[in-house]
Structure 1
Amino acid sequence: MSTFQTARAALTVYYDGACPLCAAEIRLYRRSEEAERIAWVDVGPEGPAELGPGLTRGAARARFHVRRPDGTLVSGAAGFAALWAVLPRWRLLARLARLPGVLGLGEVAYRLFLPLRPWIARRVRSGGPRCDKACG
């Protein structure tokens, strides 16, 4: 996707397409209504070298990140909440994330999940590339 297209997107989502777990989750979101409003950027080994201010490929592969149209970068549970807010079928989760304390609990859960991600990814792999240390 060109820089112009990314700038016009409702959101830019950075994901590791080399991680089978990450790729499966992104496929789910990409099938959602209004997913075409989102710029989907695969940060795997074949992805773009430049990801914009404040984001390196290593950081993008280690943790979920999204960039809002104003350039603000959010990650982890806040990133998921931002994505859910753009997709109609997921907006209820975005609303729940805005309740007091919910986003903080989501971030704690996400941080607990991150060390398990490579192990889970190896088990859900469906012929895709191996998810290594960069995948978690």
Structure 2
Amino acid sequence: MTSKASFPLRIYYDASCPMCRSELHGLKSRDENDALELVDCSGPGFADPDLEQQGISVDTAMARIQARDAQGRWFNGVEVFELAYGATGLSRTAQVLGHPRLRPLLDRLYPLIARNRKWLSRLGLAPVLSKLLHRKRVNPTLKR
């Protein structure tokens, strides 16, 4: 399991990637405590002083998800997903992502997935992630 983070967690991600956008927006839809702050670093001319101060280029942020917690600590890769899933109530998924026996494998797989994320998006993974993660809002005026 990863070290504790202080929230909100500012996540730098590639919103031009349908799979990335679906996953992170799905997580944000579950974010009842405003624990996640999403920052799209895919726009033309994107610059961020926090990234620059840390020595993280926009290309690096686009290639490998990055996050900064409220205390200024930086996280990247699978650790960001573990924190984000845990913060949005998906603790079982977070536990799998942080499992000491699985984490080394996941850390090796993540760069492969990140490099091929747009191709994976074309395979139709974005709508699947969207359906799995987006929290369905229940209309409180409807009685069951």
- TM-score under structure 1 normalisation? 0.72
- Hey, what does 1:41 align to over in structure 2? 39
Question: Per-residue deviation at 1:43?
Answer: 0.6
Structure 1 pair 122/34, CA: closer, same or farther in 2 (3 Å)? same
Deviations, residues 82-123 of structure 1 (Å, cap 9, x unaligned): 2122111x1122223333222212112212322321212344
Deviation of 1:9 after TM superposition, in Å, equals 4.5
Whole-Å separation in 2 of the counterparts to 1:125 and 1:105:
21
- Which of residues 27, 30, 33 in structure 2 aligns to 1:29? 27
* Paired residues for 1:51-90 under 5 Å: 51-52=49-50, 53-88=54-89, 90=90
Give percent identity, aligned residues only. Answer: 25
CA distances 1:36-78 after superposition (whole Å, capped 9, x unpaired) = 2221111111574115123221111111111122211111111
User: Could you tell me how far 1:19 is from its partner in structure 2?
Assistant: 1.6
Find the residue that maps to 1:40 and give its secondary structure: strand
Q: When the two structures are aligned, how many residues end up with a matched partner?
A: 118
Matched, 1:19 2:20: no
C-alpha change, 1:99 and 1:21, in structure 2 (3 Å) is closer
1:50 has 2:48 as partner: yes
- TM-score, normalization by structure 2: 0.69
- Give unmatched runs, 5+ long, in structure 2: 1-5, 127-144
Q: Which has the higher contact order (CA 8 A, sep 6+)?
A: 2
Superposed CA RMSD: 2.5
The structure carrying a bigger helix percent of its residues is: 1
